[in-house]
């Protein structure tokens, strides 16, 4: 397998660890993935939650400070590693978190849950930072590329193609368009590669995300034209994952039929363990939970108390309350059968004779 090059940065293995918000992928997981030769990613969304920096009324300031702290933790684990940040465009403090990512030393900024049309402008003072949008369609990739090239004379350093049929967490597709057979992830991967080649004469790495679990999945993705893959759910049931042990056990104990779609108050569908769906909503309704963070630009719970408070539901799960908390996951989460180390996953994914992992 070829090494992955994104902008100025190269990693040994074609793996990008997916960003999992509200402290599922913090400094520990990102640092160990980077140490093993992949791209480690700290998720910026809700990073203030369960942080000693958050006092209850300083959410946005604590969000930025906590993000920087987690990046430092990751670099303590992998001083020479390639560590990035995933920042959702839908976040109310999106711009602040992009700036904090640069301040904290992120080498790559990945943005989804909306199109990051202004990202090159926000990062113009740090041209060495690689910029990577997440898209689900060729049309979205074209829109981002043309906006960036015309407005900022810059193209993406890579593109992540998320498959809404298999990926976990918030999905960049309308609910009614998921499950209707219209998505062909690898046709989209190849179309995006061809677009950059024909339109700009550039070989832009295209990374397949969603439904990747084992070595066979990786080889299939590369054979279908992807330059690398993004794995998120696979790294949850690890010693180094930043979530509580109960969160990890939820993956190990769930069944395939327990995984499904839920509408987020962000206005986006999300894939999660849905066996406790009613308790997720009733917790906030019964307890009169108020919006104390304003974490999203648009939120039905903040505006009308519809559904549930997304950041608090995710926070409860991250702390171990998987009975009333929201556990995001991809379609393959049920395949987790034990807690392993990140190093063991890399050794499995990349045949032992090929792998060189720092001790």
The verdict on residue 324 lying in a domain is no
Pair (65, 151) in one structural domain: yes
The verdict on residue 10 lying in a domain is yes
Pair (18, 157) in one structural domain: yes
| 321-359 b/e (C-beta count within 10 Å ≥ 16 → b) | bbebbbbbbbbbbbbbeebbebbebbbebbeeeebeeee
* pLDDT of 354 above 70: no
* pLDDT of 129 above 70: yes
Pair (27, 173) in one structural domain: yes
β-sheet bridge partners, residue 7: none
The verdict on residue 325 lying in a domain is no
Question: What's the pTM value of the predicted model, to 2 decimals?
Answer: 0.95
Instruction: Give CA–CA dist 20/25, Å, rounded.
Output: 5
The verdict on residue 260 lying in a domain is yes
The verdict on residue 110 lying in a domain is yes
Query: Over the stretch 199-246, which tens digit does the pLDDT of each residue have?
Result: 999 999 999 999 999 999 999 999 999 999 999 999 999 999 999 999
The verdict on residue 122 lying in a domain is yes
Pair (227, 80) in one structural domain: yes
Radius of gyration of the chain (CA): 19
* pLDDT of 261 above 80: yes
Residue 352 confidence (pLDDT): 54
Pair (143, 254) in one structural domain: no
Instruction: Give CA–CA dist 175/164, Å, rounded.
Output: 9
What total number of domains does the chain contain?
Answer: 2
Residue 5 confidence (pLDDT): 98
Pair (251, 238) in one structural domain: no
Residue 185 confidence (pLDDT): 94
Pair (172, 116) in one structural domain: yes
Instruction: Give CA–CA dist 209/16, Å, rounded.
Output: 9
Pair (22, 124) in one structural domain: yes
Pair (253, 225) in one structural domain: no
The verdict on residue 326 lying in a domain is no
Pair (175, 309) in one structural domain: no
Residue 69 confidence (pLDDT): 98
Mean pLDDT of 260-267: 94
Residue 353 confidence (pLDDT): 43
Pair (221, 312) in one structural domain: no
The verdict on residue 331 lying in a domain is no
Query: Over the stretch 153-184, which tens digit does the pLDDT of each residue have?
Result: 999 999 999 999 999 999 988 899 898 877 89
Report strand pairing: 269-273 vs 228-231. Answer: unpaired
Pair (235, 268) in one structural domain: no
How sure is the predictor about 358, in pLDDT bands with cuts at 50, 70 and 90?
A: very low
209 CB contacts (<8 Å, ≥6 apart)?
16, 18, 134, 160, 161, 162, 163, 167, 229, 230, 232
How sure is the predictor about 359, in pLDDT bands with cuts at 50, 70 and 90?
A: very low
Query: Over the stretch 72-102, which tens digit does the pLDDT of each residue have?
Result: 999 999 999 999 999 999 999 999 999 999 9
Domain that holds residue 231: 4-242+338-354
Task: Tell me the HSE value of 196 on the side-chain side, using a 13 A CA sphere.
Answer: 23
CATH of residue 40's domain is 3.20.20.70
- Mean residue pLDDT across the chain: 95
Query: Over the stretch 284-297, which tens digit does the pLDDT of each residue have?
Result: 888 988 888 999 99
């Amino acid at each position: 397998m070829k090494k992955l090059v994104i902008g100025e940065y190269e990693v040994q293995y074609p793996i990008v660890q997916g960003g999992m918000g509200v402290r599922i992928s913090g400094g520990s997981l990102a640092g160990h993935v980077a140490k093993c030769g992949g791209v480690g990613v700290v998720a910026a969304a809700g990073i203030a939650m369960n942080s000693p920096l958050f006092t209850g009324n300083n959410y946005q300031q604590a969000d930025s400070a906590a993000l920087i702290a987690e990046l430092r933790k990751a670099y303590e684990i992998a001083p020479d590693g390639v560590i990035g940040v995933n920042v959702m465009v839908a976040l109310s403090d999106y711009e602040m978190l992009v700036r904090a990512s640069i301040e904290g030393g992120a080498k790559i900024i990945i943005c989804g849950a909306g199109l990051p049309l202004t990202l090159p402008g926000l990062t113009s003072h740090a041209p060495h930072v690689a910029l990577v949008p997440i898209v689900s369609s060729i049309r979205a990739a074209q829109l981002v590329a043309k906006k960036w090239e015309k407005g900022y004379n810059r193209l993406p350093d890579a593109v992540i193609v998320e498959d809404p049929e298999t990926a976990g967490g918030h999905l960049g597709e309308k609910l009614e368009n998921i499950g209707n057979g219209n998505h062909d992830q690898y046709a989209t991967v190849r179309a995006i590669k061809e677009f950059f080649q024909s339109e700009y004469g550039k070989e832009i790495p295209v990374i397949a995300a969603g439904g990747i679990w084992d070595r066979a999945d990786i080889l299939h993705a590369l054979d279908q034209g992807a330059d690398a893959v993004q794995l998120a759910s696979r790294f949850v049931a690890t010693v180094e994952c930043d979530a509580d042990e109960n969160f990890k056990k939820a993956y190990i104990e769930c069944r395939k039929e327990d995984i499904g779609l839920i509408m987020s108050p962000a206005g986006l569908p999300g894939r999660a363990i849905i066996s406790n769906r009613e308790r997720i909503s009733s917790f906030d309704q019964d307890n009169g939970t108020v919006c104390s963070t304003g974490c999203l630009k648009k939120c039905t719970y903040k505006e009308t108390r519809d559904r549930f408070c997304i950041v608090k539901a995710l926070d409860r799960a991250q702390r171990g309350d998987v009975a009333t908390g929201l556990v995001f996951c991809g379609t393959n989460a049920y395949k987790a059968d034990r807690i392993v180390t990140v190093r063991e996953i890399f050794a499995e994914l990349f045949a032992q004779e090929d792998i060189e992992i720092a001790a």
